Structure 1
Amino acid sequence: MTKLQIEYIRLTLALLVFVFIITLLFLHINQVNLNWFTTLSSVMTLPALGLSIAIPIWMIVDLFRKKVADKSIFNLTFFISVISILLLLFAIYILK
């Protein structure tokens, strides 16, 4: 697997976590009750939390090892990961 493929996999995982968090917050704020999504979100919350923390750590390790193939994809992935973490903190502290 090339470095560029790893960058795209990391970007895809970050986007999936971001979309999951945005959808969860949207449904919570608008008080929409979808039983299937509630069940799915209860199952997917811990993996989403793990990925939102693991992706930036993985990126920093690769940055120190100089295994970054494309800086623009790296920066986009890092930006999406930081926004996801901030949205999680917003959901935890403000919405409770």
Structure 2
Amino acid sequence: MFHIMRRIFASLPFASVLIGLAGQPAALVLPPTLAACFLLIRDRIIRRRVGLAAWPSDGFARHVLVDDLGWLICLTLLGLPLFLLGAMLRSLVLAG
């Protein structure tokens, strides 16, 4: 469950470049939105598995959520210049 987020986070910059190559700026919000939905669902699953355990287990679930949300925010902000890079590549390909 924890290893899939590395793959999702690694794919977000590539998705931004591909969206820039496609020239669809409105689609730029889709990958981070889907990743955030997955994060929230995963948090619910972790908290359900914790159940009535001690507070440290709940603290671990919060730590995982906050850490992943921090990475998601950073990668979303990194996606904006990568989108512009993809858009510039698209204009170069179409002009040449």
| Shared fold (TM-score, shorter chain, > 0.5) | no
- TM score, norm. by length of structure 2: 0.41
- TM score, norm. by length of structure 1: 0.41
Structure label with greater radius of gyration: 2
